[in-house]
Amino acid sequence: METNNTKSGFAALIGRPNVGKSTLMNHLIGQKIAITSRKPQTTRNRIQTIYTEDRGQIIFLDTPGIHKAKNKLGKYMVSAAETTPKDVDVCLWLVEPSEKIGPGDTHIAGLLRKSNVPVILVINKIDKVKKTELVGVIDSFRKLMTFDDIIAVSAIQGKNLDQLIDAIFKYLPYGPLYYDPDTITDQPVRQIASELIREKALRCLGDEIPHGIAVAIIKMQDRPNSDITDIDAEIVCERDSHKGIIIGKNGSKLKEIGSEARVEIEDLIERKVNLKLWVKVRQNWRDSDIQVKNFGYDASKL
Ligand code: GDP
Ligand code: MG
Q: 125 CB under 6 A from ligand 1?
A: yes
Task: Please say whether the dihedral angle defined by the alpha carbons of residues 140, 145, 150 and 153, taken in this order, is positive or negative.
Answer: negative
Residue 65 Cα to ligand 1 middle (Å): 13
Please report which ligand is nearest the Cα atom of 23: 1
State which of 21-25, 66-70, 118-122, 202-206 shows the largest mean pLDDT: 118-122
pLDDT of amino acid 296: 46
Q: Taking the model in full, what pTM does it have? A: 0.66
Q: What pLDDT band is residue 187 in, cutting at 50, 70 and 90?
A: low
Which atom of ligand 1 is the closest one to the Cα of 17?
Answer: 2
Q: Which of 13, 14, 16, 18 has most ligand 1 atoms within 8 Å of its beta carbon, as the pocket-test mutant? A: 18
The span from the CA of 53 to the CA of 55, in Å, is 6
Q: 200 CB under 6 A from ligand 1?
A: no
Q: 124 CB under 6 A from ligand 1?
A: yes
Residue 154 Cα to ligand 1 middle (Å): 9
60 or 148: which carries more pLDDT confidence?
148
Mean pLDDT of 63-68: 51
Q: List, in sequence order, every beta strand (DSSP E) within the chain.
A: 7-14, 47-53, 56-62, 90-95, 119-123, 149-152, 214-222, 228-237, 272-281
> What does each C-alpha distance from 302 to 18, 71, 72, 118 come to in angstroms?
24, 10, 7, 28
User: pLDDT for 93-141, tens place per residue?
Assistant: 999 999 899 888 888 888 888 888 899 999 999 999 999 999 999 999 9
pLDDT of amino acid 189: 74
